[in-house]
Amino acid sequence: MISKNKVKFIISLQNKKVRDEERLFIIEGDKLVKEFLAAKIPIKTLIAKPEFLSNLPVDLTRFVNEIEDVSYEELKHISTLMTPHNALAVVPIPEYEMDTSEVFNQLCVALDFIQDPGNLGTLIRAAAWFGIKNIVCSVDCVDVYNPKVIQASMGAILHVNVYYSDLKKLFILANEKQIPVFGTMLEGESIYHHKLDNKGIILLGNESKGISEELLPFITEKIMIPKFNKAEQGIDSLNVGMAASVVFSEFLRKSGSFPD
Amino acid sequence: MISKNKVKFIISLQNKKVRDEERLFIIEGDKLVKEFLAAKIPIKTLIAKPEFLSNLPVDLTRFVNEIEDVSYEELKHISTLMTPHNALAVVPIPEYEMDTSEVFNQLCVALDFIQDPGNLGTLIRAAAWFGIKNIVCSVDCVDVYNPKVIQASMGAILHVNVYYSDLKKLFILANEKQIPVFGTMLEGESIYHHKLDNKGIILLGNESKGISEELLPFITEKIMIPKFNKAEQGIDSLNVGMAASVVFSEFLRKSGSFPD
């Protein structure tokens, strides 16, 4: 039986401040936990129902520091989900530093004040699908280790580096090094007509406010997804995950980088 | 003050069986209610806080049968949302019949057993953005008048016709009339290479099971979005809303139908 203190500690990791101090986060769900295990990510604590543990190849537990076997009720209490799965794990936050020359050397994504955890998770998923390795978030974006972000990213977090940085400083450097900054905005040119590059930064703005005023001067190319029927009122926008998928698709297609 | 019976009745509309019998559904949120009013959709009951009603141009209430002015607590009780907005309305389900020759004459979408209300809402939103007017759902898809679908569609429901029909029968007819049926599936050809048409049916399958076995024989073209890095494990798929957005974008781009 898992101790009350440990339960309390794990629940406290739902709070960003605690995550930042402890450098730990929670992953949840059989599939996600198995993906982390298979990727040989070191795991501090694996908390799971006996059924899950008994079916787990021992080879996968080599990188697990401690295992707690719990009942459904215990798991439900610890879980952030309404209906918990069979497993949950506490994982150290990876400590990696952004290497701007590597980031600038390929297509990357900058996110300005993305607030919704589901949106950030979906954006990471889209980036992973389209082979984009780096996402730079403004410091006021939702925390990538928020359990809802991890849930929505569906394991894609294992394939994409997510950094938090002062975007203004990043863009000053990009401008200096003549790395294009593609701002997605209503007054941009159609992505279907605009020349897109296989290098540069795709900047996506906040869900309702778009790109912050202070970042606008650094944009070197303004792009947008045209709405099919301009006359039609009431279709405000695609959500940011859908818009990003379309933009990434068009960048990759134009660069001819797609596999057959 | 709104009567207890009326509250009970409105809440009962969260149930599909009641919606089907009463031919009524609920829309919620200031923006959505205003869009329905502006579109001159007849509304059976408008339920709103006094602030909402006092700011509503009288012209917009011409198509409203009855107005109930409620407190925050009353609205919270009726609402399907955790945090209710200021307005909610009961709207008659539009009664329209599918005209297959009209549907076949342009690009349309067929959905096979889409279960998640958020996904259906997002798909409607994507269709509206890309000017696709008709969606045909298999009879086992989630109900389009489910409050969560309406919420996720963000008003796009006003611009897209959503039908429920036996897809097998529809596809038999499509095959007879030589209308292409584009099945989106893992073993398809890349959308970036495949010839796409400005007419035909784009078939999207269930979130986890894909397209049903019994519909496979009717597919005339198999297409898919290539994953950028085939070697990368663990990136299962884009969600259906993101995948649909990318597919719709590529269809429209290839047909040259985009506005500048």
> What SS3 string covers A28-63?
ECHHHHHHHHHCCCCEEEEEECHHHHHCCCHHHHHH
Say yes or no to pLDDT of A229 above 80.
no
Q: Does B188 touch chain A (CB under 8 A)?
A: no
Q: Which residue of A has its CA nearest to B130?
A: A228
CA B233 from chain centre, in angstroms, equals: 32
pTM for the model: 0.92
Rounded Cα–Cα distance for residues B138 and B193 (Å): 29
CA distances to B36, B69, B105, B176 from B40, rounded to whole Å, are 6, 21, 28, 39
**What is the mean pLDDT of the segment spanning A89-103?**
94
Q: Given CB atoms, is B10 within the 8 Å cutoff of chain A?
A: no
Residue B206 DSSP class:
B
Q: Give yes or no for B243 touching A (CB within 8 A).
A: yes
B97-120 residues labelled b (16+ CB within 10 A) or e (exposed)? eeebeebbeebbbbbbbbebbbbb
Domains of chain B plus CATH, in order, are 4-92 (3.30.1330.30), 100-254 (3.40.1280.10)
Torsion sign over Cα B143, B144, B150, B151: positive
Residue bearing the bigger pLDDT, A23 or B258: A23
Measure CB to CB from residue A154 to each of B159, B230, B236 and give the nearest one: B236
Q: Find which of A55-69, A230-244, B131-145 is predicted with most confidence, using mean pLDDT.
A: B131-145
Q: What is the pLDDT of residue B82?
A: 79
Inform me whether the C-beta atom of residue A241 falls under 8 Å from chain B C-beta atoms: yes
According to DSSP, the residues that pair with B13 across neighbouring strands are: none
* H/E stretch holding A186: strand A181-190
User: In a mutagenesis test of the B interface, which of A41, A187, A236, A242 is the best target, namely the one with the most B β-carbons within 10 Å?
Assistant: A242
pLDDT for A236: 66
CA distance B37 to B237: 38
Q: Is B183 exposed, middle or buried (0-12, 13-18, 19+ CB in 10 A)?
A: buried
Q: Give the pLDDT confidence of B230-250 residue by residue, as tens digits.
A: 655 556 678 899 999 999 999
User: How far are the Cα atoms of A13, A140, A250, B66, B244 from residue A31, in angstroms, in the given order?
Assistant: 21, 30, 30, 50, 24
Of B128, B158, B228, the CB nearest to A131: B228
CA distance B142 to chain A (A): 20
Q: Count H helices and E strands in chain A, helices first.
A: 10, 10
ipTM: 0.90
Least CB–CB distance from A122: residue in B192, B234, B242: B242
